[in-house]
Amino acid sequence: MNKKINDKIIQNHNLTKKEYKLIKKILGRLPNLLELGIFSVMWSEHCSYKSTKKWLKTLPTKGNKVICGPGENAGIIDIGNNDAIVFKMESHNHPSFIEPYQGAATGVGGIMRDVFTMGARPIANLNSLRFGDPKNSKTKNLLRGVVKGIGDYGNCVGIPTVGGECFFHESYNNNILVNAMCVGLVKKDKIFYSTAKGVGNPVIYVGSKTGRDGIHGATMASAEFTNDSITNRPQVQVGDPFMEKLLLESCLELMKHDAIIAIQDMGAAGLTSSSFEMASKGNCGVKLFLEKVPCREENMTPYEMMLSETQERMLLIIKPNKKKLTFKIFKKWGLDAVEIGKLTNTSIMELYMNKKLVGTLPIKPLAASSPEYNRPSKKKNKKIKKIIPKRVDKDNLKKTLIQILSSPNHSSKKWIFRQYDSSVMGDTILSSEKSDAAIIRIHGTNKAVAITCDCNPIYCKSNPKIGAEIAVAESWRNLIASGATPVAITDNLNFGNPEKKEIMYEIKEAIKGIKNACEKLSYPVVSGNVSLYNETNNSSIMPTPVIGGVGLIKKIENAKSFKMKENANIFLVGKTNGHLELSLFYQMHKLEEGTPPKVDFIKENKNGEFVKNLISKTNGVIGCHDLSEGGIGLSLAELCISNNLGVKIKIPKEFISKPEKWIFGEDQSRYILIIKESFDIKKYVDKEVYIEKIGVVDGTSLEFINCFEIPVKNLIKLNNKWFNEYLK
């Protein structure tokens, strides 16, 4: 512990010389190795958000349904009748690349603990996955490992995995993204927070015994990869879903007895972050007696105990008169629960080992006053090529749609979904296979929540601000198309190295885009996560700000899917201009140049409100699908595949000479509505909303009249083909 601190040790802890100088100033002396390690993890990018804090503070976080915004383990929204939804999304990117099964599994476990720490029972999991080029030698094993890790962990704990997205691109060859989202249900008067209070109150450790796994995991997640990073396996945590289940049930039981003052998951930075953050929020001090920490390995040092990221552990502040009850409940569930410390009024963290003081640290500077950087930013000097497309014939249009449906990113994800139990708990109405958003019934009621996660990194790479706006708008449309009223979002901002001006520019612009979209749509941010340094050997991922949206369906009968019926009418809501730059159509022709379509938020609001009211106030809507990537062509193909029914579609006169713009254009603010044959939609049309009938549900083919047609059985076969062949 008395090891002399030198430049190499400082560098190995991912601290700058300037930061080390600040540490000495805060302490008024030189730190020892334990204290340096604690500063290192608490000031890591992963824990402190030091590169993004300045910009994250600009996001809108308040709303009439927001109970708790950013700053706690998860965000909370009010859904009426004393019910509240707790939700958050987090990343486990670096660990999942090094050890895909355990990295993904522990990512799921960690986000579920963030939710049940607030007093909520998890009711659904989602994930957003990004892998490299399928031809890359690592991709197949990474895909198998990640999906199995997610499935096994969620299935074992008994929480349904109901939706997500999976995207392949060469920019993720050496930095895959594994973003996990969890949604939980709690009564408004049974919410728990992490603010420690009460001098002398006991600090209780419960869960798995502490090991050496995950030490410096938070620091690793705040640094670029190199070719040697695969050697960081010891920094990847190992998950135990059965322990997670015991921890979940025991904590929820204890919460019923008014015993808990504060509770915090031991996630990134383990015992360090949980103890410092709880004490900081309550403006109190802590004494920890580290020899009492349950350890599964021999001769663990205070440094290892404080920085270990062993999974399935919680830290609680308990009312003294409920201590006996607390230990009784945890014993009932077969869990190790130990009093390892007590609260003080000193605002100091005092660390003891066998009665010897081994570390003394002021709490606020580490937990709440970490460095805040305004890093320089610079737009990439990249000329956007003006694309002059070649004339497209009808056969080419048909081939392009077939190519899209057969591509890794748009082929059926049944192989993934079949590994997830989506129906456990019995409240899953629809998974995201069958609707634009997954829909979960609020148990014992007639209401439901809709949940989704979205991002188009191709758009974000070209213009991170517009790309982020589109990600927010798409999540909003997905919720509306499922019959929900959008309420709030969580985000997971995945980027490269913020110390590079061009990357910092992407981060700032993306946050500006999220801010603008959320403000325009009255769609606040209540939680989130930042994952930076997704970069290997100076090669960065595309900017990927994933948006997780949650909406409320007041009556389950208003929930909408991709359902169609024979002879139903097909309507298009929203004007089509035929934006093809950066579209799937161009990507299939090896073009990733241009600018994304702009979002007109006036139209977005009006069109969304029209669809929402039509669904909730009439009985005329059979099914609904928002339009995004692939435009009308891909959306109609997905509807045909989902229902095994054909459609006959008439291309408008003004697009007869350029059908590709109408079929594949990716203009925003649009929906496809499947309307009952007998329903007179004209009675409800708002003059400010563009709506047109484009066809009927009929036959056994996807037919664009006088252009091309594809039998639905062929669409299904083509759509199922890629994953089946890739994973033979």
Structure tokens at 17: 């010389």
Rounded to 5 degrees, what angle do the CA atoms 91, 97, 100 make?
A: 90
Contacts with 103 (C-beta within 8 Å, 6 or more apart), sequence order: 92, 94, 95, 96, 97, 146, 149, 178, 236
Bridge partners of 121? 185
72: tokens are 């706690």
Residue 672: CB atoms within 10 A of its CB come to: 25
Contacts of range 355-359, beta carbons closer than 8 Å, 24 or more positions apart: 358/1, 358/32, 358/34, 358/290, 358/302, 359/32, 359/34, 359/35, 359/38, 359/302, 359/306
For 442, counting Cβ atoms within 10 Å of its Cβ (0-12 exposed, 13-18 middle, 19+ buried), the class is buried
Rg (CA), the chain: 26
Rounded Cα distance between 592 and 598, Å, is 17
- Length of the chain equals 728
The DSSP string of 299-346 is T--HHHHHH---SSEEEEEE-GGGHHHHHHHHHHTT--EEEEEEEESS
DSSP-derived secondary structure letter, 209: P
462: which 2 tokens?
A: 């070209």
Helix (H) or strand (E) holding 405: helix 394-405
Q: Residue 695: CB partners within 8 Å, gap ≥ 6?
A: 569, 570, 647, 648, 649, 650
Catalytic residue among 46, 216, 579, 625: 46
The catalytic residue among 13, 92, 94, 169 is: 92
Q: What is the dihedral of CA 454, 107, 86, 249, to 10 degrees?
A: 150
Q: Amino acid letter at 539?
A: S
| Distance, CA of 245 to CA of 251 (rounded, Å) | 10
Q: Quick one: DSSP state of residue 3?
A: P
Interatomic CA distance for residues 165 and 546, integer angstroms: 10
Residue whose C-alpha is closest to residue 208's, from 108, 317, 335, 303? 335
* Rounded Cα gap, residues 595 and 577, in angstroms: 15
Provide DSSP, 33-93: HHHHHHHHHHTSHHHH-TTTHHHHTTS----TTEEE-BTBSSEEEEEETTEEEEEEEEE-H
Evaluated on CA atoms 287, 289, 294, 300, the torsion sign reads: positive
Is-catalytic flag, 92? yes
Task: Return d(Cα 95, Cα 220) in angstroms, integer.
Answer: 9
**Is residue 536 within 8 Å of 225, Cβ to Cβ?**
yes
Which residue type is seen at 657? S
Amino acid in position 541 = I
Query: Which of 274, 232, 222 minimizes the C-alpha distance to 103?
Result: 232
410 catalytically annotated:
no
User: Among 289, 284, 272, which Cα is nearest to 347's?
Assistant: 284
DSSP-based three-state secondary structure for 527: strand
d(Cα 624, Cα 104) in Å, to the nearest integer?
Answer: 32
Pairing of strands 671-675, 621-626: antiparallel
Instruction: Give me the active site residues, please.
Output: 46, 92
